[in-house]
């Protein structure tokens, strides 16, 4: 038998592995640390895989020297994590290793490294009674050996302050903290708040960093130079060797789900990391995911609640749904209802600020011909092209761009017209209705350049503008005390999603957007414009009572046995030729369906994905459902094996989503 090993995983590019022979009497497992002859000496290595054969000449292969005792150095922990992820998410170990252990890259040093200093430059707030109780509760739970807990606090209840106090204690004990936040809420606000509290001890990760800069941040964790790593999901792989706590703020946020293989769910991976590092995990949210909250309900996860906002006098905003059908009936064709327009004006007159949410960027979501009805579509994807203000048509899936044609490509008429509204159009409308107001727009287009995102938030917080409008980006974590009105322009776009989790997402989004209003002493108000004002989800959102929402959602999921009442796996098969996909799946599905049925599971599909074609590739989805997690993984492996037999040249790309 032979083993593929990786030598010194922290220092080499991890693509490179070496083959060694396993001596007859040696028992070896994937992930074991071993000592191998390497160069002129011996080196520590880790076993990646075990094989019966190798394609090298026998005489060139050396024997593994010995198996080392597991000492749980951080490398070993991270390797075990990669091994676990590889199994859990059906992705090759190499790909998982690349995710877990960043390739080491040299960066040129700019300026001196910050020294380790301990002084609190910013005086900590004294906790409210509610915060103090929660803090004690969490500490007690962890000291009794609870592995995880949920801090469930309404928006503005001061969860961050509780995190900071916990961090302080962990650091005082000489341990380290990973602080996860959704990508987009890593604003100067959160960042400076933490950096001021722990000067010199914080390292940050974010998406605009180069690979070298990321490696540098990670290296500071390994060397002990910093004690806190703050960042989006990949910060969970910080190579701290004495980890004391992992905090995951806004646990429900969708950016925590990886969009590339391994398509991991951060919530689950940090629990594994916590287990390997013997450190507790704290989840925080105002709208916990149904998945997580079902554990609280079952009594498997201790939960600590903050019911009130922390700033004295601040209360949750007043919410109201505006019936847009009525507006139309009464002759108002504007994107603003009369009541929203009036209330915006009122705020402008009083010198208060307004936030407007719209979940579509660009100027208009589609352009079509008024003569033949044809819409302009992306040649590579199964979607319509978005019109942008600069007259360019853009595909929001693949980035394809083209100029707006003068005549219809189908019937040659010149009656092309843009329909619908995106953030750019909303911005122009705002300018014409409120000509004196300062207006900022925040979406992917306006924040493309480095630093632009922070610049907009900074300007708004310094009250250089009255209205901030934008997409999801304006929603998360921001704390602007002068904002007293939040408008959700077109909630129907969110309600119409057909995914079984759509209700949950909509509820979370509405709560988060609304949570931006009235965070200071002045009361806040939220207006939600809708063409289906009686939608049950809106009623639940208006109540601002998570438990009622959860109860409804739970009943619905239970009735249809959706997660968390079952385990569901979405398997996407992706290929450029539709006919080939159909042919292969047609041959293989009867066997797969039979096997899954025999195993007590259910299959659905293959269905075309919601967007069937992206970047010239077709996507078919098969769902499998079972009550048992491990059986789902076995059924998945069976599918992989069967697909390999039919698709001999490995043309079809497979993607798994564990739901
Ligand atoms: P959350 O994360 O729960 O939405 P934050 O931690 O952002 O809430 O806190 C909301 C606001 O309350 C912030 O402006 C913060 O400075 C303030 N705050 C938090 N704790 C206290 C406290 N103990 N006393 C006074 N203000 C507080
Ligand atoms: Zn036409
Ligand atoms: Zn496209």
Within a domain: 18 = yes
Cβ-based neighbour number of residue 650 at 10 Å: 9
DSSP notation for 599-657: TT-EEEEEEEEEEEEETTEEEEEEEEEES-HHHHHHHHHHHHHHHHHHSTT--SEEEEE
Ligand 1 closest atom vs CA 155: 4
Examine the domain organization and report whether 486 and 549 are in the same domain: yes
When the pLDDT of each residue in the chain is averaged and rounded to a whole number, the result is 90
Q: What are phi and psi of 463, to 5 degrees?
A: 60, 35
Closest CA to 580 of 635, 610, 617: 617
Residue 373 lies in a domain: no
Same domain, 360 and 502: yes
Q: Are 619 and 651 contained in the same domain?
A: yes
Write down the pLDDT at residue 11. Answer: 54
Domain CATH number, residue 600: 3.30.70.600
Residue in 552, 566, 584 with CA at minimum distance from that of residue 628 = 566
H or E segment and range at residue 48: strand 41-51
Look at residue 476 and tell me if it is in a domain. Answer: yes
Same domain, 478 and 551: yes
What's the N-to-C CA distance of the chain in angstroms?
Answer: 37
The overall longest dimension of the chain from CA atoms, in Å, is 88
Per-residue pLDDT of 336-368, as tens digits, reads 999 999 999 999 999 999 999 999 999 999 999
Does residue 337's CB lie within 6 angstroms of at least one atom of ligand 1?
A: no
**Of ligand 1's atoms, which has the minimum distance to the CA of residue 127?**
23
Looking at the chain, the whole-number percentage of residues with pLDDT higher than 90 is 69
CATH number at residue 505: 3.40.50.300
Q: What is the DSSP letter of 414?
A: S
Q: Which residue, judged by its Cα, is nearest atom 19 of ligand 1?
A: 158
Q: Given this model, what pLDDT does residue 118 score?
A: 37
**Residue with CA closest to ligand 1 atom 6:** 158
Do 291 and 334 belong together in one domain? Answer: no
Q: What is the mean pLDDT of residues 508-514?
A: 92
* Residue 86 covered by a domain: yes
Tell me whether residue 260 is in a domain: yes
Please compute Rg for the chain using Cα positions.
27
Q: Would you call 474 helix, strand, or coil by DSSP?
A: helix
Q: Which of 152, 310, 476, 522 to mutate to test the pocket of ligand 1 (most atoms within 8 A of CB)?
A: 310
Q: Is 33 helix (H, G, I), strand (E, B) or coil?
A: strand
In a domain, 12, yes or no: yes
Are residue 432 and residue 543 in the same domain, yes or no?
yes
- Known binder of ligand: residue 411? yes
Rounded to an integer, the average pLDDT of 21-45 is 88
Statement: residue 590 has pLDDT above 50: yes
Distance of CA 435 to the CA centre of its chain: 37
Query: Going along 218-371, which residue ranges are E strands?
Result: 228-231, 243-248, 281-285, 303-306, 318-323, 353-357, 366-369
Ligand 1, residues 122, 131, 134, 156: which to mutate, most atoms within 8 A of Cβ? 156
Residues 87 and 206 in one domain: no
The helix-helix angle for 290-298 and 546-559 (nearest 10°) equals: 90
pLDDT band at 188 (very low <50, low <70, confident <90, very high): low
Among 556, 590, 613, which residue terminates a domain? 556
- Which pLDDT does position 287 carry in this prediction? 94
Domain-embedded: residue 210? yes
Question: With 50 as the cut, is the pLDDT of residue 475 above it?
Answer: yes
At 107, the pLDDT band (50, 70, 90 cuts) reads low
In a shared domain, residues 338 and 461: yes
Q: For the chain, how many structural domains are there in total?
A: 4
Residue 573 annotated as part of some ligand binding site:
no
CA atoms within 13 A on the CB side of 353: 26
What separation in Å is there between the alpha carbon of 429 and the centre of ligand 2?
28
Ligand 2 centroid, distance to 374 Cα (angstroms): 6
pLDDT higher for 14 or 573?
573
Q: Which of 24-38, 133-147, 170-184 has the highest mean pLDDT?
A: 133-147
Q: How confident is the model at residue 114 (pLDDT cuts 50, 70, 90)?
A: very low
Check the annotation: does 221 bind a ligand. no
**Does pTM top 0.75 for this prediction?**
yes
User: Above 50 in pLDDT, residue 533?
Assistant: yes
The whole-angstrom distance between residue 547's C-alpha and the CA centroid of its chain comes to: 23
What is the rounded CA–CA span in Å between residue 335 and residue 489?
8
Look up residue 112 and give its DSSP letter: P
Give alpha helix (H) positions in 27-158: 74-89, 93-100, 129-143
pLDDT of the residue at 47: 86
Confidence bin at 116 (pLDDT 50/70/90): very low
- Residue 310 Cβ inside 6 Å of ligand 1? The answer reads yes
Task: Kindly state if the Cβ of 189 falls inside 6 Å of ligand 1.
Answer: no
- pLDDT band (50, 70, 90) for residue 113: very low
The tens digit of pLDDT for each residue in 542-561 reads 988 899 999 999 999 999 99
Please state the three-class secondary structure of 153-211 as a single string: ECCCCCHHHHHHHHHHHHHHCCCEEEEECCHHHCCHHHHHHHHHHCCCCEEECCCCCCH
Peptide bond connecting 26 to the previous residue in cis, omega within 30 degrees of 0: no
398 is known to lie in a ligand binding site:
yes
What is the edge-to-edge ordering of all strands in the sheet holding 602-614? 602-614, 617-626, 567-575, 653-658
Same domain, 485 and 593: no
- Determine the 3-state secondary structure of 502 from DSSP: helix
**Atom 2, ligand 1: which residue's CA is nearest?**
159
- What number is the average pLDDT over the span 485-491? 95
Nearest CA to ligand 1 atom 20: 158
Percent of the chain having pLDDT more than 70?
94
| Ligand with smallest separation from the Cα of 124 | 1
Question: Is residue 199 within 8 Å of 119, Cβ to Cβ?
Answer: yes
Residues 628 and 480 in one domain: no
> E strands within 217-260?
228-231, 243-248
Residue 332 in tokens: 């108002």
Please report the pLDDT score of residue 111 as a whole number: 42
Residue 115 in this model has a pLDDT that exceeds 50: no
157 pocket-lining for ligand 1 (C-beta < 6 Å):
yes
- Cβ atoms within 10 Å of 120's Cβ, excluding its own: 11
pLDDT at 635: 93
Range of 625's domain?
Answer: 567-658
430 is in an annotated binding site: no
* CB of 635 closer than 8 Å to CB of 596: yes
CATH code of the domain in which 61 resides: 3.40.1440.60
In short, whether 153's Cβ falls inside 6 Å of ligand 1 is: yes
Which residue, 55, 83, 100, sits at the end of a domain? 100
> Nearest bound ligand to CA 516?
1
Among the bound ligands, name the one nearest to the CA of residue 408.
Answer: 2
Residues 486, 454 share a domain: yes
Phi/psi of residue 282, nearest 5 degrees: -115, 120
Residue 113 inside a domain? The answer is: no
Tell me whether residue 303 is annotated as binding.
no
Mean pLDDT of 452-477: 90
- The verdict on the CB of residue 160 being under 6 Å from ligand 1 is yes
Tokens of 17: 């592995």
pLDDT at 477 over 70: no
**pLDDT, tens digit, for every residue of 192-224?**
888 889 999 999 998 778 888 888 898 899 889
235 lines ligand 1 (CB under 6 A): no
Looking at the structure, do residues 8 and 34 belong to the same domain, yes or no? yes
Domain stop point among 492, 526, 556: 556
3-state secondary structure of 52: coil
202/197 Cα distance (integer angstroms): 9
131 C-beta closer than 6 A to ligand 1: yes
Q: Report how far ligand 1's centroid is from the alpha carbon of 477 (Å).
A: 11
Among the ranges given (111-115, 160-164, 482-486), the one the predictor scored with the smallest mean pLDDT: 111-115
């Amino acid at each position: 038998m032979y083993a593929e090993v990786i030598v010194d995983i922290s220092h080499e590019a991890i693509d490179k592995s070496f083959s060694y022979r396993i001596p007859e009497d040696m028992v070896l497992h994937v992930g074991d640390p071993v000592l191998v002859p390497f160069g002129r000496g011996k080196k520590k290595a880790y076993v990646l895989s075990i094989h019966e054969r190798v394609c090298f000449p026998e005489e060139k292969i050396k024997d593994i020297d010995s198996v080392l005792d597991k000492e749980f150095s951080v490398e070993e922990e991270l390797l075990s994590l990669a091994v676990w992820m590889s199994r859990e998410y059906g992705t090759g170990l190499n790909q998982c290793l690349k995710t877990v252990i960043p390739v080491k890259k040299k960066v040129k040093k700019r300026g001196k490294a910050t020294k380790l200093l301990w002084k609190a430059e910013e005086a900590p707030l004294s906790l409210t009674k509610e915060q103090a109780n929660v803090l004690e509760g969490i500490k007690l739970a962890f000291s009794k050996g609870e592995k995880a807990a949920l801090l469930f606090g309404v928006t503005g209840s001061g969860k961050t302050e509780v995190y900071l106090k916990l961090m302080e204690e962990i650091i005082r004990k000489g341990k380290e903290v990973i602080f996860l936040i959704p990508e987009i809420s890593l604003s100067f606000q959160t960042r400076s708040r933490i950096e001021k509290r722990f000067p010199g001890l914080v390292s940050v990760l974010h998406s605009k960093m180069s690979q070298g800069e990321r490696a540098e941040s990670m290296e500071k964790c390994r060397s002990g130079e910093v004690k806190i790593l703050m960042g989006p999901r990949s910060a969970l792989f910080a190579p701290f060797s004495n980890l004391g706590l992992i905090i995951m703020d806004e646990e429900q946020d969708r950016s925590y789900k990886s969009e590339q293989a391994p398509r991991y769910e951060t919530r689950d991976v940090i629990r594994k990391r916590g287990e390997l590092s013997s450190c507790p995990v704290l989840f925080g949210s105002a709208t916990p995911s149904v998945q997580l909250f079902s554990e609280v309900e079952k009594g498997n996860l201790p939960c600590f609640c903050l019911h009130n906002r922390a700033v004295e006098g601040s209360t949750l905003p007043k919410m109201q749904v505006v019936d847009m059908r009525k507006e139309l009936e009464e002759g108002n064709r504007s994107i603003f209802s009369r009541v929203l327009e009036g209330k915006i004006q009122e705020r402008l007159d009083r010198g208060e600020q307004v936030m407007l949410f719209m979940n579509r960027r660009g100027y208009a979501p589609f352009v079509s011909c008024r003569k033949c009805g044809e819409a302009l579509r992306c040649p590579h994807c199964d979607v319509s092209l978005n019109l942008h203000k600069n007259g360019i048509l853009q595909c929001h899936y693949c980035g394809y761009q083209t100029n707006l044609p003068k005549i219809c490509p189908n019937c040659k008429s010149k009656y092309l017209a843009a329909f619908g509204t995106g953030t750019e159009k909303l911005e122009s409308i705002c300018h014409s209705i409120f000509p004196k107001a300062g207006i900022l727009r925040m979406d992917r287009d306006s924040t493309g350049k480095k630093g632009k995102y922070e610049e907009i938030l900074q300007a708004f917080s310094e009250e250089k503008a009255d209205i901030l409008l934008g997409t999801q980006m304006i929603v998360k974590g921001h704390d602007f005390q002068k904002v007293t009105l939040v408008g959700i322009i077109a909630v129907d776009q969110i309600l119409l999603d057909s995914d079984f989790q759509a209700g949950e997402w909509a509820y979370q989004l509405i709560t988060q957007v609304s949570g931006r209003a009235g965070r200071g002493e002045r009361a806040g108000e939220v207006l939600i414009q809708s063409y289906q004002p009686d939608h049950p989800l809106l009623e639940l959102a208006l109540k601002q009572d998570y438990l009622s929402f959860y109860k409804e959602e739970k009943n619905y999921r239970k009735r249809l046995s959706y997660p968390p009442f079952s385990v569901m796996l979405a398997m996407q098969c992706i290929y450029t030729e539709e006919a080939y996909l159909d042919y292969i799946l047609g041959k293989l599905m009867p066997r797969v369906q039979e096997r899954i049925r025999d195993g007590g599971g259910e299959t659905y599909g293959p269905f075309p994905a919601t967007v069937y074609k992206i970047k010239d590739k077709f996507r078919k989805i098969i769902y499998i459902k079972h009550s048992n997690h491990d059986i789902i993984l076995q059924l998945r492996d069976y599918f992989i094996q069967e697909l390999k037999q039919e698709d001999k040249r490995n043309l079809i790309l497979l993607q798994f989503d564990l739901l």
